[in-house]
Structure 1
Amino acid sequence: MTLSSTLICPYSTSQINCKECVKVEKQWNIKRVIEDLTQAKCQHLTKSEICWLRLLIYGLSPEEIAQKLSLANSHIKSALSTSIYRYVESLTGRNLKKYSQVRLFLQEAEKYEKIEFELEIGKEIKLSDIDPELLMYTVKKLGIQFPVEFIVVKIHGNENNE
């Protein structure tokens, strides 16, 4: 039995099956989190730091991360204390007291979680015909805060896709 390459963590030094990282990738704008933490750190995050960050966002404790990665608890705790925890504090302006606050503080920043919904358009429209004010009003009424990525998944109407 072979593992799907999409389940192998690209940031781990060992080839581990990492369903947690895949789930975080789907639910969070992890690229933006990494970019913002890179700015807070003033240099790129290491592959290990990215791996640990994803697992913390998923909700794993430092002990669970150490077990998953076959590392010593003391190593992970020390490394997180001098890296990810400090970067998140710098980014959010808040002091972390426990590992679970990494996810909480990033959630409260309201710009990292992906909001997925399906938009169905029931008639043919041209983008040039859309009133930008009406679009913004609708988005605000739905409670969507920017930046959010929109994806139109179904378009009904014109069969020629013009």
Structure 2
Amino acid sequence: MASIDEQFKQATTQWDLETLYTDLASAKGKRLTPVEKLHLRGLLCGYSPTEIAEKLKKNVKGVEVDLCNTLYKYVKNLVDKSDEKMENWRNITEWLEEAGYKNLVSNQFQLSDDSPVDLLVKKANISFDNNKIIVDINLRIVASSSSESIIIENFNTNGKG
């Protein structure tokens, strides 16, 4: 069986998980458990609580109760929707996407030495000012070399990053 961090791995390219984990830990008051992170990744990949339970070979009711008692509360606090009723598990991904946790573009390409590079566009804002088009892009570029990983974040095209 795959390690807990390998399950629902596609969420890592579509979502800014590290920021989301940190922000949810603040909403919770302590770090998320590995199981909470796993269930969150399952939701972010578009799986229902029932499908998450089936994939993890867990009891469906147990996963549903766990989500209601943990992640749903943390996300509602994080996105300032504590008073709103959870209509559907899909509310979680919708709210987190509206809050800016979903990457807009994700792409992997190869450097000349065959090292993989992940390019994630986290946010892009386009505005117009005095007949100028201003494009602000929040990028995350992760390039791995043989022994180290290089991360460039918050590159700003106007030099104010």
Normalised by the length of structure 1, the TM-score is 0.63
Partner residue, 1:130: none
Choose 1 or 2 for highest CA Rg. Answer: 1
Partner residue, 1:14: none
Instruction: Give distance in 2, aligned partners of 1:152 and 1:79.
Output: 33
- Verify: 1:61 aligned to 2:51, yes or no: no
Aligned length: 118
Structure 2 alignment gaps of length 5 or more? 108-125, 144-161
Q: Which has the higher contact order (CA 8 A, sep 6+)?
A: 1
- Verify: 1:149 aligned to 2:132, yes or no: no
Partner residue, 1:42: 29
Contact 2:9 2:41 in 1 (8 A): no
Instruction: Give distance in 2, aligned partners of 1:152 and 1:70.
Output: 33
Normalised by the length of structure 2, the TM-score is 0.64
Instruction: Give distance in 2, aligned partners of 1:115 and 1:100.
Output: 18
Q: CA 1:61–1:150 in structure 2 vs 1: closer, same or farther (change >3 Å)?
A: closer
Deviation of 1:152 after TM superposition, in Å, equals 9.8
Partner residue, 1:77: 64
Deviation of 1:35 after TM superposition, in Å, equals 0.4
In structure 2, give the amino acid aligned to 1:142.
V
- Verify: 1:104 aligned to 2:91, yes or no: no
In structure 2, give the amino acid aligned to 1:10.
I
Q: Which has the higher helix share?
A: 1
The correspondence of residues 84-123 of structure 1 with structure 2, limited to 5 A, is 84-94=71-81, 95=84, 96-110=86-100, 112-116=101-105
Deviation of 1:86 after TM superposition, in Å, equals 0.2
| Aligned-pair identity (%) | 27
